[in-house]
A and B are shown apart, each in its own frame.
Chain A
Amino acid sequence: MKLSSMRYLNKQGLENIWKNRMMAFASFCVLLVSIMLVGIAVLLFMNLNSIIGGIENKNEVIVFLDPEITQEQTETVQSKLEQIDNIEDISFYSKEDAFDSLKESMADYAQVFDSLGNDNPLPDSFRIKIKDISLTEETVTLMNEIDNIYHIRAPYDFVNVLSEMRKIVSWVSVVVIIALSIVSMVIISNTTKASVFARRNEISIMKYVGATDAFIRIPFFVEGMVTGFAAGIVATIITWIGYDALVDLLTKEVNILNVIGVGSIIPFNDIAIKVAIIYVLAGGLIGALGSVISTRKHLDV
């Protein structure tokens, strides 16, 4: 096909949007709603995951060291702990720190502590953050193999609940997103079918004068793609505004986030470009393919 023909067909596609503006608008709306439906579901689940992740980050495995441990042995334990893959962060918590914080938290019992004098019964410890908390048990087993450890305290119940929650959220999100995608595709395919059906005569005339399938399809492709792009752009803007407004509302008006940690909500700015690219590409692709596939039935003349 010649360049001038390609130019002509692209122009035809763009003009067709205006000429068939009612149907183009319907396709645009359906694409917009579909993209947003799936997009918002994805964002919601991303945030849920991030919030669970935020809570997980507050988990702590405490490794208490032998009371009689030497400085050198402490360093050996630390270097061995550092070699374990699933450990994200290790901080040393000396028995003095522990004693001070205990005294602080139990100020009413100052006399009891005073009676102990300089006799500190608490051991040194390492506070450890685990990367993947579902592997806590295995990680603790590895830690247990290290010498000079007196006791390890791990939040197993907490870990189990969170792992379960994450599993459930992942499954629910996959199911919901697939369901929404299917619903969207059905609606989109029906809309594009209706839009193409309205122009089936036009397609058959083109076939009669000897137009190839590609020649007929390119304008539909361009038309669907541009409509999809537009839907993607508008969906990005609406999602952005809506998302920020919701985050604003949750942080300012509702106190839940103070409990679970505001930091766990993903700021839109961090994902704006990704969201925009995915929305626009998805819109363009679905729009273009939708209309091209719908023309197929009418090309057999």
Chain B
Amino acid sequence: MVELKNVSVTYSTGVDALNHVNLRINDGDFAFVVGSSGAGKSTLIKLILKEIDATSGVVMVNDHNLTRLKRKKIPEFRRTIGFVFQDFRLIPSMTVYENIAFVLRVIDAPRKYIRKRVPYVISLVGLQEKANSYPNQLSGGEQQHVAIARALVNDPQLIIADEPTGNIDPELSYEIVELLKGINECGTTILMVTHEHDLVRHFGGRIININSGEIVFDEIIGGNNEA
């Protein structure tokens, strides 16, 4: 669950990135976050990842009060979240398998479990054949599938996808969102930032529109695919 109570963020440059934002995303939700560049979407993501701190207000994520979370506790907190980034952010020196297994190694998971779990999530995203490939040997779409598998492997409560379709072919974008929707159906909360209105219109669901640091729209709409 993500909850922002009266949260404002002002950068040291004086820019007000978020103004008194109130937001609640319940467990099991799937929400699109839309808005133009500089509207405050990235700030929202950074807040939820505890990459930055709120200037005022309270940020609660997965039962952690981020306003009070000590630096030492950040790794533990981040293990409850999976991330998918626009630029994939895979470790170039590791194979697909290693990139995904790394998340489990970080949490000291037993080797037996890693050997079972990693091939399973690789198969979920359909990349069994590429398990031993390096990121630079994969297409953008494939790399994003690996990133989703990595976000998933730890069985997180929440997955944050920041423009996950931004660097891949439009026709593959739908596949990525389908994949995320499928994960959501299994109970994982998903927050997807995008500026691709076609995608949002197609899938529908909860849409949160941020503009100039404020939430100007937060409603559930029906998607074209449901029509």
Query: Measuring CB to CB, which residues of chain A are less than 8 angstroms from any residue of chain B?
Result: 1-2, 4-5, 8, 16, 19-20, 201-202, 204-213, 215, 301
Q: Which residues of B contact A211 (CB under 8 A)?
A: 75, 106
Contact of A202 among B51, B76, B93 (CB under 8 A): B93
Question: Residues of B within 8 Å of A, CB-based: how many?
Answer: 23
Contact flags (1/0) for B147-189 with A, using CB distance below 8 Å? 0001000100000000000000000000000000000000000
What is the CA–CA distance of A50 and B193 in the complex, to the nearest angstrom? 73
Given A16-B93, A19-B93, A209-B78; A4-B111 close (CB under 8 Å): yes
Q: Which residues of A contact B90 (CB under 8 A)?
A: 205
- Chain A to chain B contacts (Cβ below 8 Å), 5 pairs: A5-B108, A205-B89, A209-B106, A210-B154, A215-B75
Given A202-B91, A202-B93; A208-B49 close (CB under 8 Å): yes
Contact across chains for B107 and A210 when beta carbons are under 8 A apart: yes
Contact across chains for A210 and B75 when beta carbons are under 8 A apart: yes
Contact across chains for A1 and B92 when beta carbons are under 8 A apart: no
Q: Which residues of A contact B83 (CB under 8 A)?
A: 208-209
Which of B50-86 touch A at CB < 8 Å?
A: 51, 75-79, 83
Contact across chains for B75 and A212 when beta carbons are under 8 A apart: yes
**Distance in Å: Cβ of A71 to nearest Cβ of chain B:** 84
Q: Which residues of B contact A206 (CB under 8 A)?
A: 91, 102, 106
Q: Which residue of B lies closest to A201 (CB)?
A: B89
Q: Which residues of A contact B102 (CB under 8 A)?
A: 206, 209
Query: Measuring CB to CB, which residues of chain B are less than 8 angstroms from any residue of chain A?
Result: 49, 51, 75-79, 83, 89-93, 102-103, 105-108, 110-111, 150, 154
Contact of B89 among A2, A208, A212 (CB under 8 A): A208
Contact across chains for B92 and A202 when beta carbons are under 8 A apart: yes
Given A19-B93, A212-B75; A1-B106 close (CB under 8 Å): no
What is the CA–CA distance of A201 and B94 in the complex, to the nearest angstrom? 13
What is the CA–CA distance of A8 and B108 in the complex, to the nearest angstrom? 10
What is the CA–CA distance of A259 and B49 in the complex, to the nearest angstrom? 74
Contact across chains for B103 and A209 when beta carbons are under 8 A apart: yes
Contact across chains for A8 and B76 when beta carbons are under 8 A apart: no
What is the CA–CA distance of A1 and B106 in the complex, to the nearest angstrom? 10
Q: Which residue of B lies closest to A20 (CB)?
A: B93
What is the CA–CA distance of A211 and B91 in the complex, to the nearest angstrom? 14
Contact of A1 among B78, B89, B108, B154 (CB under 8 A): B108
Q: Which residue of A lies closest to B92 (CB)?
A: A202
Given A1-B108, A215-B106; A208-B91 close (CB under 8 Å): no
Q: Which residues of B contact A5 (CB under 8 A)?
A: 105, 108
Contact across chains for A208 and B78 when beta carbons are under 8 A apart: yes
What is the CA–CA distance of A204 and B76 in the complex, to the nearest angstrom? 15
Q: Which residues of A contact B89 (CB under 8 A)?
A: 201, 204-205, 208
**Distance in Å: Cβ of B159 to nearest Cβ of chain A:** 12
Contacts A1-B108, A4-B110 given; 9 further ones with Cβ under 8 A? A2-B108, A5-B105, A201-B89, A202-B93, A209-B79, A209-B154, A210-B77, A212-B75, A212-B106
**Distance in Å: Cβ of B84 to nearest Cβ of chain A:** 11
Q: Which residues of B contact A205 (CB under 8 A)?
A: 89-91
Contact across chains for A210 and B78 when beta carbons are under 8 A apart: yes
Q: Which residues of B contact A19 (CB under 8 A)?
A: 93
Q: Which residues of B contact A301 (CB under 8 A)?
A: 51
**Distance in Å: Cβ of A162 to nearest Cβ of chain B:** 59
